[in-house]
Amino acid sequence: MDIKTASALRRLRLVSAPEAVSFLLLLIFGTGFKLVLGIKTFVMPLGMLHGVLFILYVLFWLDAWNRTKWSLGTAALYFVLSVLPTGGFFAERKLKREAEASVIAARARKEKEAVVGGAGA
């Protein structure tokens, strides 16, 4: 995996959890206070925060999809996770596992190349 692809996945991963938190805050405090207590104070700032984070998520998702060449199913999964209230947490965890697997594979390739290169000398 090249550095630009790794960076794209990292950006997506780093925005996933805050986007999920902002969605939950908007649902619980924004909508909850508005419906239950009639207080609309929290809706606009929480909605704006969530909107900005969601737009960042979608932009980073598009960049990651373009760089990683995900299948349509994988790309759709990450998009669906962005519109579910806690989906961002699952996306972050899955992206972290993929990054760790990629690092392990890169280290294994490097060790294999060292062994093959050392045997040929």
Q: Per-residue pLDDT tens for 94-103? A: 999 888 887 7
Helix intervals (H) in 40-86: 43-68, 72-83
Largest CA distance in the chain: 77
Average pLDDT over residues 110-115: 84
Closest CA to 43 of 56, 53, 33: 33
The residue that leads in pLDDT, 16 or 102, is 16
Closest CA to 91 of 54, 116, 118: 54
Q: Are 34 and 40 in contact (CB under 8 A)?
A: yes
> pTM to 2 decimals?
0.80
pLDDT digits (tens, 9 = 90+) for 27-79: 888 887 888 888 788 788 889 999 999 999 999 999 999 998 999 999 999 99
| Token code pair at residue 89 | 């947490």
> 26 to each of 50, 56, 84, how far by Cα in Å?
7, 17, 13
Q: What is the pLDDT of residue 74?
A: 93
